[in-house]
Amino acid sequence: METSLSLQSDTPITRPEPCCHDMCCTAGPAPAAATDLDRGTLIRRAFRLEYATVCWMVIEATVAIWAGVQVTSVCLLAFGTDSLIELASAGVLIWRLTAELRRGQVFAEGAERLASRIAGGLLFGLAAYVLIAAGWNLSTQTGETFSWPGLVVTLLAMPVMYLLARRKITLAELLGSRAMRADAMESVTCGWLSLVVVVGLLVQGLTGAWWVDSVTSVAIVWFLIKEGREAWNGAACCCN
């Protein structure tokens, strides 16, 4: 018995090598302790989050684009376009979750890679649009005109996006979904964009400083590109 204990104590403990990419660590299979019922419950929660996202984004995009057209605001139009991209991203996630429910997790892993690439592409598209909108404002020396509907919808977007992003990040970790994490980052980005628009509207309304929204919009482009690259490159990292 003593020999057996000695052999056990001298046996080295091997630890798994770290993943080559942080986001890939969240893309692995569900924990062994989780049952199929647990994963099914998580997927249903994810569906509810994405449907809530769709409902809010329809409202947000409609109000922002309508207000942007009414007051000729490129910044509000950019915010409304961001809402449309969020809406498309939510549609991608609904498709990915439906694929897992109908065909199983193995098939969904293939859909996951494609969904992650699509989400990354949407983030790149959003970054390009923000740069174009900001560049247009600076070149024409124009800024947004104050809009009460625009201010209300962007103020509401901040807490709504915060709550949605927080829940999505939690579910992305539990499900091991890169695509849902990328979708959550788009919600975070939407929250920051709403803050930018609110600040721009208020400062422009109070001081007439037309350039404020253009400069502050450029400040978040690095975040969009960073998250877009992680979503795009993560599809090929640590995957077969």
Residues 87-100 have pLDDT tens digits of 887 887 888 788 77
Residues 44-86 have pLDDT tens digits of 899 999 999 999 999 999 999 999 888 877 778 878 888 888 8
Residues 149-182 have pLDDT tens digits of 999 999 999 999 999 999 999 998 888 887 788 7
Residues 109-123 have pLDDT tens digits of 666 677 778 878 888
Best CATH choice for the domain 35-234 from the list 3.30.2270.10, 1.10.510.10, 1.20.1510.10, 1.20.120.530 = 1.20.1510.10
CA distance 125 to 185: 14
Query: Are 216 and 5 contacting, i.e. CB atoms less than 8 angstroms apart?
Result: no
Collapsed DSSP state (helix, strand, coil) of residue 238: coil
In the chain, what are the domain boundaries? Answer: 35-234
CA distance 226 to 229: 5
Residue 211 has pLDDT above 70, yes or no: yes
Collapsed DSSP state (helix, strand, coil) of residue 88: helix
| HSE toward the beta carbon, residue 104, CA cutoff 13 A | 2
Query: Across the chain, which distance is largest between two alpha carbons, in Å?
Result: 85
**Whole-structure pTM value:** 0.70
